[in-house]
């Protein structure tokens, strides 16, 4: 079977709903090439273990209406690469898991380095969670660790942004076709990720973002990574599914503790109780993965590399907490005018010490 035949067959099988990696591999082994697949009769499919009447009907339906030539041509026109398990650009760590996805679509630079950490968490993230995700991503990226996440709202987006701020490599795994931006407000972020990393999907072009797609996407996120860091997650969060996949794949699970009053910390606390490593800084992750020999100064990506503060700026920073602090409280405690406070807050934000959360709230980062 030539590489071209291999790709045509696998791209076609991958487009058929309900098959999954294992059945796709069985079918690929049985029919060997795209031509044989096209010529196969109904009874040929039914002879395969696990292929019943319903799946057989799906195969016959998609065989007649799906054109892998058009799919690959469309991908090429969009600067999207289509790779299979036999391709040299297929990510090494993902290839190591049980039943890896047989086809990947990616846009950007191929993720060849095995030094990757997944950072996942709640879409409804707190200011604390967002700051933590960005901080860990920034500091890990600064020591050449790839940051993998799902480009969802909340923690995922902050993880990607943190990696980009450190000029690091970040990988976004989508639960839809790679030609669809989801959520739509992440159009700019997706463009930045493609320029400084890559976007990956196992779904055919045009696949809408449906709930049933996300477990498969989460499995790829963990499969691409040496370990998964969960920042904030509710008790039934999809992030916990990613953590479960990570354990199944023999990878590490890390969790950041949060407030006992925050329902989106209950999932991370549950993971810690079950044996996930509690982490407070990136050294905790690097030590666990025996990556201490990577470039030394993690601190250089944090406050040690930030500009010095004036006495006035230090005074304002002392007032601001890691939890959201309202501007009226800052004005009241500082005994300064609103105009001077606005100037000092702008300086602190530009120097990387605080984050403006909207609505007049600020938090340390």
Contact 109, 119 (CB under 8 A): no
CA 308 to CA 300: how far, in whole Å? 14
pLDDT of res. 303: 43
pTM of the complete model: 0.84
Put the strands of the sheet holding 146-149 in their side by side order.
Answer: 81-84, 103-108, 197-201, 170-173, 146-149, 116-120, 227-230, 252-255, 277-278
Domains of the chain: 3-68 (1.10.150.20), 108-301 (3.40.50.450), 306-364 (1.10.10.10)
- Tokens, residue 31: 């029919």
Q: What pLDDT, on the 0 to 100 scale, is given for residue 102? A: 96
Query: What is the pLDDT at residue 365?
Result: 78
User: What is the Cα gyration radius of the chain?
Assistant: 23
Cβ count near 256 (within 10 Å): 27
Interhelix angle 68-77/3-14, nearest 10 degrees:
100
pLDDT of residue 218: 97
How much is the pLDDT for 32?
Answer: 86
pLDDT in tens, 271-293: 999 999 999 999 999 999 877 55
- Given this model, what pLDDT does residue 306 score? 67
CA–CA gap between residue 118 and residue 152 (Å, rounded): 13
Q: How far is CA 18 from CA 6, 68, 90, 99, 111, in A?
A: 20, 18, 23, 15, 27
125 three-class SS: coil
- In the predicted model, residues of the chain with pLDDT beneath 70 are 1-3, 292-306
Sign of the alpha-carbon torsion through 5, 85, 210, 46: positive
pLDDT of residue 292: 58
What local confidence, expressed as pLDDT, does residue 185 receive? 97
């Amino acid at each position: 079977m030539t590489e071209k035949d291999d790709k045509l067959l696998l791209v076609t099988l991958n487009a058929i709903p309900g098959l999954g990696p294992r059945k796709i591999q069985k079918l690929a082994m049985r029919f060997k090439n795209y031509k044989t697949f096209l010529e196969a009769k109904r009874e040929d499919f039914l002879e395969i273990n696990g292929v019943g009447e319903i799946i057989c009907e799906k195969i016959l339906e998609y065989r007649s209406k799906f054109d892998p030539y058009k799919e690959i041509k469309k991908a090429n026109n969009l600067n999207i690469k289509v790779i299979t398990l036999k391709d040299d650009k297929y990510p090494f760590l993902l290839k190591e898991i049980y039943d890896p996805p047989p086809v990947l679509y990616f846009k950007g630079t191929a993720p060849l380095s095995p030094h990757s950490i997944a950072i996942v968490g709640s879409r409804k993230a707190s200011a604390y969670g967002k700051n933590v995700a960005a901080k860990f991503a920034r500091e890990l990226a600064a020591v050449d660790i790839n940051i993998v996440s799902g480009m969802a709202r909340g923690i995922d987006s902050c993880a990607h942004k943190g990696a980009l701020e450190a000029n690091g490599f970040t990988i976004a795994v989508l639960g839809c076709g790679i030609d669809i931006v989801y959520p739509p407000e992440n159009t700019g972020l997706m463009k930045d990720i493609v320029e400084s990393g890559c976007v990956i999907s196992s779904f055919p072009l045009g696949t809408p973002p449906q709930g049933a797609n996300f477990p498969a996407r989460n499995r790829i996120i963990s499969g691409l990574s040496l370990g998964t860091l969960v920042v904030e997650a509710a008790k039934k969060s999809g992030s916990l599914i990613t953590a479960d996949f990570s354990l199944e794949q023999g990878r590490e699970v890390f969790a950041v503790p949060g407030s006992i009053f925050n329902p989106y910390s209950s999932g991370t606390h549950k993971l810690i109780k079950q044996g996930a490593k509690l982490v407070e800084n990136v050294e905790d992750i690097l030590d666990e993965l025996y990556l201490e020999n990577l470039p030394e100064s993690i601190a250089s990506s944090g406050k040690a590399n930030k500009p010095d503060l004036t006495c006035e700026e230090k005074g304002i920073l002392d007032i601001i907490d890691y939890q959201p602090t309202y501007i009226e409280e800052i004005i009241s405690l500082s005994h300064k005018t609103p105009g001077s406070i606005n100037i000092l807050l702008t300086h602190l934000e530009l120097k990387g010490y605080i984050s403006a959360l909207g609505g007049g709230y600020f938090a340390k980062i």
